[in-house]
Amino acid sequence: MDALLQFLHRRGGVARTRELLAAGVRERDLARAVNAGMLNRPRPGIYALPGADPVLVRCAATNSRLTCLSAAEHYGLWTLRKPDKVHVLRPDGMFSSERAVVHRRSWVSGQQDGWIASKADVVLHALGCLPELEALVLVESASRQGISLDFLRDRLPGRRNAGARRILDLVDVGSESLLETLARTHLRRAGFHVEPQVDIRGVGSMDLLVEGCVDVETDGKEHEAPRRRLKDYRRDNTAQSLGFAVARFGYAEIVRRPESMVSQVAAVVEARLALGGLPNSEDL
């Protein structure tokens, strides 16, 4: 019985009868587990642990896989929000629901009998489904994990995929967080020259160097720790001693008020350029 429960835990709490039998579980053991309340049988051919995610149970019942925004967390991909609908891959297209977004095409097979689409499918579905900036942060995180932009672009031919290819054109592999990606994109669209992750001797890596003179830092929650803040103060002081202006922004400003963030950076850049004597390129 322990082997049965361990197998189900590895499968996310849900399995089909054929998978259990193939793993050496006997039908009488399944019946005993159900009678003892250790397993549920939500529908014929499906067994689940009590408390199993109903979304996974639904995937098992409809021969679907989680994909797009619903599978991003599984792969550690950057997202701006939780999905308001479940995104599933169902190649036969038979499953439909007001609570689900159904993706019908698969490019790369996922794990056999798994409930999650392959990472490639997740990214490709996001490129064709999510709003531009949401798709951009997701695909940039995937590129950091090794997914090739050329691989993605080759699978998005034709006019109907032009929007997805435009998102790929915005990708810059230098960003180390979704906040950097968003800030960089908003600033470039405002007409600024922006270089991500520029290493400065004595300072370290600047998140975004704007117009060669303003260090824009994008601060996630990790910057709230007292020890990290002290480190930030020291590096900012060093950057300013070298002639760089420094501007820091948190999640709320970058994600919810990007226009304000851009206008503040514009003011800092204008003030720094008015001073003249820009930082020497030899410091880069």
The whole-number pLDDT of residue 60 equals: 86
The domains found in the chain, sorted by start residue, are: 2-51 (1.10.10), 63-169 (no CATH), 178-283 (3.40.960.10)
Per residue in 138-161, pLDDT tens? 999 999 999 999 999 999 999 999
- Dist. CA 153–CA 121, nearest whole Å: 13
Q: How confident is the model at residue 78 (pLDDT cuts 50, 70, 90)?
A: very high
Per residue in 243-253, pLDDT tens? 999 999 999 99
The whole-number pLDDT of residue 11 equals: 82
pTM of the predicted protein model: 0.88
Per residue in 18-61, pLDDT tens? 888 988 888 888 998 999 999 999 888 899 999 898 888 888 88
Residue 262 has pLDDT above 80, yes or no: yes
Alpha-carbon 197 to chain mean position: 19
Alpha-carbon 156 to chain mean position: 20
Residue 191 has pLDDT above 70, yes or no: yes
